[in-house]
Amino acid sequence: MDSYCCVFLSIFLCISICLGEDYDLDDKTGLGRSFDGIGGLSGGGATSRLLVNYAEPYRSQILDYLFKPTFGASLQILKVEIGGDAQTTDGTEPSHMHYEDDENYFRGYEWWLMKEAKKRNPNITLIGLPWAFPGWVGNGENWPYSFPDITASYVVSWILGAKQYHDLDIDYVGIWNERSFNSKYIKLLRYTLDKSGLERVKIIASDNLWEPISSVVIADKELQDAVEILGVHYPGTNTVPEALKTGKKLWSSEDYSTFNDNVGGGCWARILNQNYVNGKMTATISWNLVSSYYEDLPFERDGLMTAKEPWSGNYVVESPIWITAHTTQFTEPGWTYLQTVGHFTHGGSYVALTDERGNLTIITETMTHDHSVCIRPPLPSYDVTAQNVTFHLKGTFASISELQVWHSKFDFKTNKTVLFQNIKPIKVTEGSFSIELDVDEVYTFTTVRNGQRGSYPDPPPSAPFPKSYKDDFDVSGNPYFSEAPNFADQTGVFEYFTNQTDPGPHVSTLRQVVTQRPVTWVADADQTISVIGDYQWQDLMVSCDIYMESVHTGGVFIAVRVNKGGGVVRSTRGVFLWVYADGTYKVTNDLNGMTVLAEGMSGTRARVWYTLTLTVKGNYASADLDGYPLWKNAVLWEPRHGWAAMGTSSFELAQFDNFAIEALA
């Protein structure tokens, strides 16, 4: 009797699993929400910093993989940081208004990036969001909403400048909301946009959590009219009932933020489907667009692809690019989700979209838990097993006879991962087709026939930063960007500067221009600093011409073995050589200047050019001023390696020229 029961049970399980489950895809009962797109985020902060320094053709190739339709990721949304002169994760991005009476719409690289995206995809959606603000916007407070009219005018000026100077139409603007929700500002921003002829520009709020924005929108009719999109960060594919009650479009306006190996690709595959299946979110935007910042800064390789070596030309098209393509190459914003989407019985999910003109695209994912963990929030446990599924196409899709098939398979055992492979079309018989789904797979079944796995010849091999490096900051060699190649500002902003009154050898320099602590959610240092080079450098000689502009209070430094940046920049250590306008110098083991290795008189003063040279070898450091020794063989122990850097002792004006590095080992 026991043997008979076991045989019966085995047959039953085989029928249940082998025959699989049935899923209807039907539009006759109505459609779901309108699809708004998949995008990437440049900024928050300085995440595309090194991209602009790539030589051609590699820079254009990277941009093609990101934005060119039916080639790579084919992104449909680009969200950029409205620079605020402040550290916002991996660096600072310059404001278009450093000071209240200052306007310049050519600083930074986001203008260039938006134009390059539009060049490839004229229909791409553009979004701007400030992560920080120049200090004058806060009027001395680390808060941008004490004077909401000033903040609204500042943001609107950026949108107007995008159009006036770059012919860029910004579609949406987000709300800075790291600490609390401010409905008064949102209403005033809507008023200011309308008054400026920007009725078409819509507001995303609150670019943080579902609450309290959802409940307040329900209760406040004026706010409800002002907000177009409820945007949330890292929702874990879930929404809340109040958000659904608003009737607003729901977006995951910042998501992913995960190391872009194959587990990161699995994370991206899972949330792209399940953000809609679970949370009814119709757009998902990756932080970040491209990992184009020094890898030892926070959140290394948290982009859709990696491009962190402009000096070598090397870049890597990572798995999230091709996972994105499973959706973006076979849909467009304005397509509509079917109501018949959901989870498979044995794990995974499926979505289906239509252009309502007969085209149908189905995306399935069967990512297992451990192979799709995102950086945040925590992922509850769940199971996925191999399964056979049958789709029944009904309604207007009943006449479809064949679907194109694109397939990705993450192989974590033998490392034979296949990404975005076009395989044999599948026949649809009497409105149905079946497919065997293994774990950790993504499929696209579609009537759209123009998908493509674009490619270029392999880029040059990876190489370390050059051991010998010089930059005289001649602006004529870098006409499109305000920052010098390969420098990554971590506090403050270092821009090209032309000395109109000094036609001498320092006519073109790099100038630190932030003179007031910005309004920011990250703990910027009290000093300004820009890093460059190879984080593994140990023995090094750095020299630079420096010019202090602040009489009596001015101070500048050059440094080696700098070990931190990003949001932890305040705790940066290294070997720092400082000279001051009061005629003194010191050598410290930290950016804060608390651990002093040597100090004395230098005779330096403001508004005079000097050449500083700092040499570190083993446990000893020495420095020269204009070729004369300041000190020799100061003893140091930590850190053992890090970047080179330069900066100022406070938020002050100072200039730098003829920067040079020689790695000694």
Active site residues: 178, 254
Q: Distance (Å, rounded) from C-alpha 577 to C-alpha 593? A: 10
- Can you say how many angstroms the Cα of residue 149 is from the centroid of all Cα atoms in its chain? 29
- 411-424 CB burial, b ≥16 within 10 A, e <16: eeeeeeeebbeeee
Q: Is 451 left (phi over 0), alpha (psi -120 to 50) or beta?
A: beta
Q: Distance (Å, rounded) from C-alpha 593 to C-alpha 2? A: 79
Q: What is the DSSP string of 465-500?
A: PPSEEEE---GGG-TT-SS-TT-EEEES-EEEEE-S
Q: Distance (Å, rounded) from C-alpha 499 to C-alpha 475? A: 11
Q: Distance (Å, rounded) from C-alpha 650 to C-alpha 201? A: 38
The token pair that represents 312 in the structure block:
């070598």
Q: Can you state the percent helix, strand and coil of the chain, rounding each to 5? A: 20, 35, 45
Q: Distance (Å, rounded) from C-alpha 639 to C-alpha 618? A: 11
Do the Cβ atoms of 631 and 644 come closer than 8 Å? Answer: no
What φ, ψ does residue 160 adopt, rounded to 5°?
-65, -40
Q: Strands (DSSP E) along 339-448, which ranges?
A: 342-343, 349-354, 360-365, 387-393, 402-409, 418-427, 432-437, 441-446
Tokens 């005289």 appear where? 472
What φ, ψ does residue 578 adopt, rounded to 5°?
-110, 140
Q: Distance (Å, rounded) from C-alpha 604 to C-alpha 78? A: 47
What pairs with residue 509 in β-bridges? 497
Do the Cβ atoms of 156 and 97 come closer than 8 Å? Answer: no
For residue 298, cis peptide bond before it (omega within 30 degrees of 0): no
In degrees, rounded to 5, the angle at the alpha carbon of residue 313 between the alpha carbons of residues 311 and 316 is: 125
Q: Distance (Å, rounded) from C-alpha 631 to C-alpha 613? A: 11
